[in-house]
Amino acid sequence: MSDFKLLFDSISRGHINAAVAETQKALDAGIRVQDILDRGLIATMNTVGERFSKGLIFVPQMLRSARAMQECTKLLKPYFLEGNITTKGKVLIGTVKGDLHDIGKNLVSMMLEGAGFTITDLGVDVLPETFVQKTRELEPDIIGLSALLSTTMPAMPLTIEALEKAGLRDKVKIMIGGAPVTEKYAQKINADSYASDAGSAVLKAKKLLGIL
Ligand code: B1M
């Protein structure tokens, strides 16, 4: 963390301008973008989460840190673009019903987009019916479901069931992810793939479509 101390301090205090300036400084200094993301931004959010668990900070502080991190990730986006962008496939992505966490989902979207996928992001708190309706409308190759709360994970199988009932399940691949989600859970609910982070989400998406 020591290399990113000022970035850590500004994100954990929710100081957006300072956090953005520190991210830009790290980019200007030639620090690897993946390190800024993993050892700077994500490591900071993990510490923010630990502080919240211990009761040292509360939801408003967590929210301010989240806003600061979101602004910093915007600066990284251009660096994740792969050279030749012809669409590799269509991805419909969203955070499941009841869940408002979107930083991880946004990172996954950003990396997939950078790798050449066309993304439709439905946002947060997405109802199973909305996934069904948008799947009919857009005919995606992959549906991505994100959940950060153990209480909202059950919305994943509910979404898969809704797609089954609508006769759409066999027409798409389903990838799931989010901190409490596991490979085992993906198998249990009959998802096609699980990714633990945004980088592996790209590899898994390519594998699902047979382009890796
Ligand atoms: Co909340 N929150 N939060 N939170 N929050 C967690 C998740 C928590 C672990 C904190 C804690 O207690 N230690 C805990 C969940 C406990 C549990 O259920 N297991 C928690 C809680 C309890 C809550 C509330 C209930 C708090 C309350 O109100 N009392 C509440 C719920 C609101 C709701 O959703 N209905 C709440 C609210 C919030 C904020 C709104 C304040 C804010 C979110 C703001 C936002 O997202 N715009 C927030 C935050 C910021 C967090 C922590 C601190 C950080 C989450 C994050 O962004 N991490 C989090 C603690 C933690 O995770 N350490 C916590 C960084 C991000 C890059 O990682 O999201 O894991 P992550 O994404 C990764 C991978 O998981 C994966 O790739 C990403 C990038 O590598 N991935 C996928 C994610 N989605 C994927 C999809 C894929 C593939 C991979 O395929 C489709």
pTM score of the predicted model: 0.92
CB atoms within 10 A of CB 196: 14
Shared domain check, 181 and 133? yes
Of 33, 39, 101, 146, the one to substitute when testing ligand 1's pocket (max ligand atoms within 8 A of C-beta) is 101
Asked if residue 108 lies in contact with residue 198, where contact means CB atoms within 8 angstroms, the answer is yes
Residues 53 and 137 in one domain: no
Q: Count of domains in the chain?
A: 2
The residue from 58, 81, 104 where one domain ends is 81
Domain boundary among 48, 81, 114: 81
Task: Cite the beta strand spans of 148-210 per DSSP E.
Answer: 173-177, 193-194
> Is the CB of residue 39 less than 8 Å from the CB of residue 3?
yes
> Per residue of the chain (212 residues), what is the pLDDT tens digit?
457 999 999 999 999 999 999 999 999 999 999 899 889 998 998 899 899 989 999 989 988 998 999 899 999 988 887 665 567 899 999 999 999 999 999 989 988 887 788 999 999 999 999 999 999 999 999 999 999 999 999 999 999 999 999 999 999 999 999 999 999 999 999 999 999 998 889 999 999 999 87
Domain span including residue 106: 90-208
| CATH code assigned at 185 | 3.40.50.280
- Supply the CATH number for residue 54's domain: 1.10.1240.10
Burial of 1: CB neighbours in 10 Å, binned 0-12, 13-18, 19+ = exposed
Ligand 1 pocket test target in 50, 62, 150, 192 with most atoms within 8 Å of CB: 62
